Structure 1
Amino acid sequence: MIDRLAVFGATGDLTARYLLPALAALRAAGHIGDSFQLTGASREDWDTHHFREWCADQLDRHAGSCPADAREAVAVSARYRQADVTNAADVAAVVAGDDPIAVYLALPPALFPHMVTALHDAGLPHGSRIVLEKPFGEDLASARELNRLLVGLVPEQAVFRVDHFLAMTTVQNVLGSRLANRVLEPIWNSTHIAEVEIVWDETLALEGRAGYYDGVGALKDMVQNHLLQLLCLVAMEPPITLGERDLRDRKVDVLRSVRLLTDYDVVHRTRRARYLSGRIGDHSIPAYIDEEGVDPGRCTETFAEVELELDSWRWSGTTFRLRSGKALGQDRKEVAVRFRSVPHLPFGRDGEALPNVLRFGLEPEGMTLDMTGIGAHAQDLTQLSLTARMEPPDLPAYGRLLLDVLKGDPALSIRGDEAEEAWRVLTPVLSAWENNLVPMEEYPAGSDGPPPRPHEGAQRRRSDLLHPEALPGDGSDGPP
């Protein structure tokens, strides 16, 4: 197990909010000890004392639930070097040593090729590992080039293209529910499942992230990585084991089976939009194009929706809808599996059975199954919701990912060919959007998103059957 971690871009939000708390959780759980060393590198003119004080402050702010001694140990283990990530000499000073080191690139994706080149010139101790945040590249061509650079630096199994969604408890439970329960796997196919929605709708607006977000947008920020990863777990064939080869092979199979969209498909099966001014709760939200740091000429979308189909025996005929939006009226973060209706109802003409829906809540985490049952009268049907509360994870998602990096288990990281296949799936969408084949719609901040298209209707647009609050029954408000 590696006990040296170097974080380039160490003074940023990722380190403060996620990596430092993850290290504190690993320390509290006994996964790392006194020999562990954290080296932070960034452009700021800091020294080790300043960096340790900053780490201690961020740990108090973002990891208050961790024991004080664990937080203190992480801060004490830290040291700092000012570095230009494109300068081989600076990079070499950060990674110097005989023992292997895990190098975390907490940097804008545009800097990845320069950083990897500098690492190649600087040299890494044998057995070292590289960690990259999403998005991996900016398109298919850049992803291929980055893979080429990485292959010349370390073996593929030493490259960790991390996606913290894959370490979330409920995401892991998608596999557990499918593969460990005989009642589900026999009906986990297009014969029984009409539609799968993978949704990350959030009330959060830009929140000062224009420097990153305006050059990326919802499609690249969420759909290309997080949501496609969830699609893989929902749709893949049962792997022989959950080892890195078996699991990642099956995920790649799913991406390879995605039917590529034609220009006609992109026009009719995708949407993009950005938010106008509005109110979310007690807060007034400016229009996206008026947010500080936004270039209106980029035509960056804050809402993206894509409908995909898989050319496979299991899934032919099932629609997979992936969508993500910012500054919406309510948070909705879930995988919703809608089953087909029963072929016949032996009840009165007024009886109606809504489709069964199995929802995996991502944030908050939980599971809910919506079913139809008998109401107060024998001929009356009512909606029932069965909710399961998830046990708190022993480690936060980033803690799980960092532990895998230090131990050398890449099962939950994205393989090079998998990253390229994900870009292949969305390349037709990116191309058509760049050519303005799909109009940029608008929606008020705090609303449900862009209005439904005329042929969709409100039910189709919001898939209200997937919202427990829109159903008759006990008034359940979804996953706990």
Structure 2
Amino acid sequence: MIRRLAVFGATGDLTARFLLPALAALEAAGQLGGPLQLTGAGREDWSSEKYREWIAAQFDRHGAHLPAEAREAVQASARYLRADVTDPADVAAAIAGDGPVAVYLALPPALFPPVITALHEAGLPAGSRVVLEKPFGEDLASAQELNRLLAELVPEQAVFRVDHFLAMTTVQNVLGSRLANRVLEPIWNSTHIAEVEIVWDETLALEGRAGYYDHVGALKDMIQNHLLQLLCLVAMEPPITLGERDLRDRKVDVLRSVRLLTEYDVVHRTRRARYLPGRIGGRDIPAYVDEEGVSPERRTETFAEVELELDSWRWAGTTFRLRSGKALGADRKEVAVRFRSVPHLPFGHSGEALPNVLRFNLEPEGLTLDVTGIGAHAHELTPLSLTAQMGPPGLPAYGRLLLDVLTGDPVLSIRGDEAEEAWRVVEPVLSAWDKDLVPLEEYPAGSAGPPPRERYGDGPQRREDLLHEPAAPPVS
């Protein structure tokens, strides 16, 4: 296990809200197996003592539930360096020490290339690892260039492109439910499943994240990485093992099978919108364009929805709908697997049998199966829900990811080719949206999102040539 962790961006929100509590959780669980040296590198002109005081304040805000002894151990292990993390000399000072180091880039993605270059010039000790947050690049070309830079720095096995969704208990249970229950796997295909909805709707608005969010939007922030990862776990073929090679090979297969959207498809199978003023939970929410730090001319979306199809034997004919929105009226964070209706009902006019829906609830974590049963009167149909609550996770998601980094297990990180395939899926959408082929709709904060519209909608005049499906090519 690596005994040194260097965090670049050590005073940021990610470090405060997730990394520090994750380290304390690992300490409390006895998973670190001994002292871990934490080096924080940032722009603030702080001493190590000042940094440890800041860590204590962040634990009060984000980790008060953790044992005091664990919090104090993390705090005592920390040192701080003021550093320009794109400068090789400053980087060399931040990673100096005995033995390999895990370098966590808790930074804006635009800084990844110069920081990786600086790490290369500074010289990483043998056996070191590099951790990158999403999004990995800004498009396919930048992801490919980032992979090239990383390949010059460390082996692929030492690169951890982390996505904390993959460490969530319910996300792991998607695989468990599929692969450990004979009742599900035989019907886990398009013959029985009509649609899969992967949804991350949240009541949270921008919450001071304009510096990051206004440059990415909902499609890049959520769908390109988090929700496509969930798609992979839902749709993948059963792997031989859950080892990193077998699991990640099957995930890449899913992304490669996604049918690329044409401009016609993007017009009719995607939506984008941003929120207007409204109220959520008694709070007044300003319009997105009026949030501090937002540049309206960027036309950044806060709501994105994409319908995809997979060209594979198992899933031909099933629709996969990926959706994420901010400042909505209710939180809905789930994977909903909608089964096809039964072919015949022998109950006459005694009610309607709604399609079965298996819901993997992501927050709060749980499992629900919507079925149809018999009501109070004979042959009267009524909807029923069977619910299972998940036990508390042994470690928070970031705790699991950090443990994998320190122990060198890349199974829950994203491989380089997988990151590139994810960009391949969304690039046609980004291209069509850049051409303004899909209108940027609006919805009040606190609502259910943009209002329903006709499938062919109305939009800019220059979309008219896309409103009719292209004719099929002649058969030769």
TM score, norm. by length of structure 2 = 0.95
> What residue in structure 2 maps to residue 444 of structure 1?
444
Cα distance in 1 for partners of 2:351, 2:152 equals 64
> What residue in structure 2 maps to residue 378 of structure 1?
378
Letter in 1 for 2:417: D
Shift of 1:379: 1.9
Is the CA contact 2:268–2:455 (under 8 Å) kept in the aligned structure 1?
no
Shift of 1:455: 4.2
1:188 aligns with 2:188: yes
Letter in 2 for 1:273: A
Correspondences of 1:337-348 after superposition (within 5 Å)? 337-348=337-348
Letter in 1 for 2:244: E
User: Deviations 1:220-253 (Å, cap 9, x if unpaired)?
Assistant: 0000000000000000000000000000000000
Shift of 1:348: 1.7
Letter in 2 for 1:320: F
Cα distance in 2 for partners of 1:411, 1:78 equals 28
Letter in 2 for 1:3: R
> What residue in structure 1 maps to residue 248 of structure 2?
248
Correspondences of 1:72-91 after superposition (within 5 Å)? 72-91=72-91
Letter in 1 for 2:252: V
Is the CA contact 2:273–2:443 (under 8 Å) kept in the aligned structure 1?
yes
Correspondences of 1:410-421 after superposition (within 5 Å)? 410-421=410-421
> What residue in structure 2 maps to residue 471 of structure 1?
none
> What residue in structure 2 maps to residue 307 of structure 1?
307
> What residue in structure 1 maps to residue 17 of structure 2?
17
1:401 aligns with 2:385: no
Shift of 1:58: 0.9
Shift of 1:62: 1.1
1:170 aligns with 2:179: no
> What residue in structure 1 maps to residue 293 of structure 2?
293
Cα distance in 1 for partners of 2:195, 2:154 equals 41
Cα distance in 1 for partners of 2:107, 2:300 equals 21
Letter in 1 for 2:366: G
Q: Could you say what the CA RMSD is over the residues aligned between the two structures, in angstroms? A: 1.0
1:279 aligns with 2:265: no
Give the secondary-structure state (helix, strand or coil) at the position aligned to 1:329: coil
Give the secondary-structure state (helix, strand or coil) at the position aligned to 2:97: coil
Shift of 1:35: 2.6
1:122 aligns with 2:139: no
Give the secondary-structure state (helix, strand or coil) at the position aligned to 1:250: helix
User: Deviations 1:416-448 (Å, cap 9, x if unpaired)?
Assistant: 000000000000000000000000000011111
Cα distance in 2 for partners of 1:371, 1:340 equals 12
Cα distance in 1 for partners of 2:319, 2:456 equals 15
Cα distance in 1 for partners of 2:112, 2:22 equals 23
Cα distance in 1 for partners of 2:149, 2:74 equals 32
Letter in 2 for 1:116: I
User: Deviations 1:113-147 (Å, cap 9, x if unpaired)?
Assistant: 01000000000000000000000000000000000
Cα distance in 2 for partners of 1:16, 1:196 equals 35
Shift of 1:349: 2.0
Correspondences of 1:358-373 after superposition (within 5 Å)? 358-373=358-373
> What residue in structure 2 maps to residue 67 of structure 1?
67
Greater mean deviation of Cα atoms: 60-69 or 202-211: 60-69
Gap change, CA 1:186 and 1:312, over 3 Å in 2: same
Cα distance in 2 for partners of 1:353, 1:421 equals 39
Shift of 1:389: 0.5
Cα distance in 1 for partners of 2:455, 2:317 equals 20
> What residue in structure 2 maps to residue 461 of structure 1?
none
Is the CA contact 2:5–2:38 (under 8 Å) kept in the aligned structure 1?
yes
Is the CA contact 2:223–2:322 (under 8 Å) kept in the aligned structure 1?
yes
Cα distance in 2 for partners of 1:32, 1:388 equals 32
Cα distance in 2 for partners of 1:34, 1:156 equals 27
Correspondences of 1:143-222 after superposition (within 5 Å)? 143-222=143-222
> What residue in structure 1 maps to residue 140 of structure 2?
140
Greater mean deviation of Cα atoms: 211-220 or 60-69: 60-69
Cα distance in 2 for partners of 1:431, 1:132 equals 25
Cα distance in 1 for partners of 2:317, 2:211 equals 40
> What residue in structure 2 maps to residue 475 of structure 1?
none
Shift of 1:350: 3.9
Cα distance in 1 for partners of 2:100, 2:173 equals 33
Give the secondary-structure state (helix, strand or coil) at the position aligned to 1:251: helix
User: Deviations 1:262-288 (Å, cap 9, x if unpaired)?
Assistant: 000000000000000111120111111
User: Deviations 1:452-476 (Å, cap 9, x if unpaired)?
Assistant: 112499xxxxxxxxxxxxxxxxxxx
Shift of 1:33: 4.6
Give the secondary-structure state (helix, strand or coil) at the position aligned to 1:313: coil
Cα distance in 2 for partners of 1:389, 1:86 equals 46
> What residue in structure 2 maps to residue 473 of structure 1?
none
Shift of 1:48: 0.3
Letter in 2 for 1:313: W
Cα distance in 2 for partners of 1:100, 1:109 equals 24
Cα distance in 2 for partners of 1:433, 1:179 equals 38
Letter in 2 for 1:294: V
Cα distance in 2 for partners of 1:274, 1:366 equals 30
Cα distance in 1 for partners of 2:235, 2:284 equals 40
Give the secondary-structure state (helix, strand or coil) at the position aligned to 1:414: coil
Large movers: runs of 4+ above 6 Å = none
Cα distance in 1 for partners of 2:15, 2:120 equals 24
Is the CA contact 2:260–2:428 (under 8 Å) kept in the aligned structure 1?
yes
1:100 aligns with 2:100: yes
Gaps of 5+ in 2: 458-476
Shift of 1:98: 3.2
1:316 aligns with 2:323: no
User: Deviations 1:288-307 (Å, cap 9, x if unpaired)?
Assistant: 11111100000000000000
Identity %: 83
Shift of 1:56: 1.4
Cα distance in 1 for partners of 2:431, 2:283 equals 36
Cα distance in 1 for partners of 2:294, 2:386 equals 44
Is the CA contact 2:357–2:371 (under 8 Å) kept in the aligned structure 1?
yes
Letter in 2 for 1:52: R
Give the secondary-structure state (helix, strand or coil) at the position aligned to 1:293: coil
Letter in 1 for 2:163: D
Gaps of 5+ in 1: 458-480
The number of equivalent residue pairs is: 457
Give the secondary-structure state (helix, strand or coil) at the position aligned to 2:153: coil
Letter in 2 for 1:154: V
Is the CA contact 2:268–2:456 (under 8 Å) kept in the aligned structure 1?
no
